[in-house]
Structure 1
Amino acid sequence: MREPARPTAIVYVDGFNLYRRCLEQHPGAKWLDLPALMDRLLPHHDVRHVHYFTALIRAGAGDDAQGPIRQQTYIRALQATGRVTPHYGTYRIDRRLMPKHPAELDDDGSLARVSVRKIEEKGSDVNLAVRMLLDAHRGEADLYCLLTNDSDQVTTIRTLQEEVGVSVGWISPMPTLRQSKALQQTGPALIACVTLDAVMASQLPEEVRSGRQTLRRPERWRPKTESPAGAGLSNR
């Protein structure tokens, strides 16, 4: 007897939020197989596709000259799974005068300010919301699942629930005590949480074929391993 078909799901990943909350401090976790992670977090659903919202790092935007190359290699590896579509916002870099921390006063009694370089990702949150609404309007899945801890997406979830009438799931990249209360209060049909164990169990192969090319996990993203002499951990 055939098992009944599982309900379908599409997942929408706030890439910057996932990176900052789960991956930034764990280089060995960055070669993340997003479809594999979603299959692990949503075992009772058939995850049809993952939409990944990010912005391409600009050369010269940071101190790491190889950062843009690693990012583009990773995105191509995700696309090679056949289940991920990337969507791009932009990075905006401005020089602004911002108050010093801890706060100090100038001679005239006003807050002392310093010139800083402020980097912001623009457009990804809007791109994500529009994509979810479009897919829901078309009836592309049974569940539309959002991975973020950004409370700016509360309106997106409520619109999908109340105006479009579809089931919305929420995957938090944060542990329970640090999850967005505003997103919790939307009453998602499903709630899941990304853990480091799940991330480490959902890594892409060390080599990924993309057309005629082989994409390899960047050296800086290799998990730490114990040295032969047992002298501790190393990821160099």
Structure 2
Amino acid sequence: MCLVLLLLNNPATRRTMKALLEKEGHKAVERGSLEEAVEMAGVYRGAPIDLILVDIRLLSVESNCEDLRGIGEIPIMVTGSGDDMIQGFLLGADDFVAEPVAPAEFLLRMRAVLRRYQKTASDTLVFANVVLNRKNQEVRIDNKSVILPQKEFELLFKLARHPKQTLTRIQLIEQIWGPEYEGDYRTVDVHIKRLRYRFSGVTDSFRIVTQWGNGYKLEIDSSLQRKTKI
């Protein structure tokens, strides 16, 4: 199951795509503009968005897929007329679906994009003056190494991979400790507290924010933000 954000001009198309996704066991949420999507910060009711389907008519050179990528590492599919395909890729699309959208083709393309994205997801994250290297579980700040225990590193890496997104304790437990974990969910709070302590006075480039009653999110200093995949 994945959560798809639909940014489509035509209400009938939105309803059709939403019904198609829900029939296949997925979830879909609708928004009418890029501004509304960015305000969501890549999350809906505590769940991270897995894929965005956007109408090319909502995009422009000044307002393209990069604006959406600012909310997290989320694959983007663009839809439009067949003549719009090249422009769609120039605007930053991961894939393009021609209108009228053929349900079977869309589902196949969506699965392919998600698989491709998961395979190419980087093991290194860079933001501001911080580098997270998952292969050796190393954190480097201004080229100085900070060593973290495995769970603390995975927790920081997960939050950094989805900046500005609130991740619930349940999501963090299932993705880091595993679905078989039967301990106290407050272990997440303990590990967050340790991370905050370790980086207190070391860097001001990011902070882990508590969303009371929900979970945690990582915020990056906008004056230093420079997030890329290596």
**TM range, smaller chain:** 0.3 to 0.5
User: Taking CA–CA contacts closer than 8 Å with sequence separation of 6 or more, which of the two structures ends up with the larger relative contact order?
Assistant: 1
CA radius of gyration, larger in: 1
TM-score by length of 2: 0.34
TM-score by length of 1: 0.33
